[in-house]
Amino acid sequence: MTIKDIPLREKCIIFIGFMGVGKTTIGSEVAKKLYRDFYDVDVEIEKKYGMSVKEIFNTFGEEEFRKKEKEMIFKLCEQRLNIISLGGGAFLQSEIKERCLKDGIVFFLDLSWDSWKDRISMLIDSRPILQGRTLEEIEDLFHSRQKIYSLHHSRVETDALEIEEIANYIVDSIKLAWDLYEPHK
Ligand X SMILES: Nc1ncnc2c1ncn2[C@@H]1O[C@H](COP(=O)(O)OP(=O)(O)OP(=O)(O)O)[C@@H](O)[C@H]1O
Ligand Y SMILES: O=C(O)C1=C[C@@H](O)[C@@H](O)[C@H](O)C1
23 is in an annotated binding site: yes
Taking CB within 5 to 8 Å according to partner kind, which of Mg ion, ligand Y, ligand X, none is near residue 68? Answer: none
CB 38 within 8 A of CB 27: yes
Alpha helices by DSSP H, listed for the chain, are 23-34, 41-49, 53-60, 62-78, 94-103, 113-116, 120-123, 135-145, 163-181
Task: Point out which span in 24-32, 68-76, 143-151, 158-166 binds Mg ion (CB under 5 A).
Answer: 24-32
For β-strands 104-110 and 83-85, DSSP reports them as: unpaired
Distance of closest approach, residue 172 Cβ to ligand Y, in angstroms: 27
CB of 127 to ligand Y, least distance (A): 5
Nearer to Mg ion, 24 or 158 (CB): 24
Give the integer Cα–Cα distance in Å for 167 and 4.
27
Give the footprint of ligand Y on this chain (CB under 6 A). 19, 42, 53, 87-89, 127-129
Give the footprint of Mg ion on this chain (CB under 5 A). 23-24
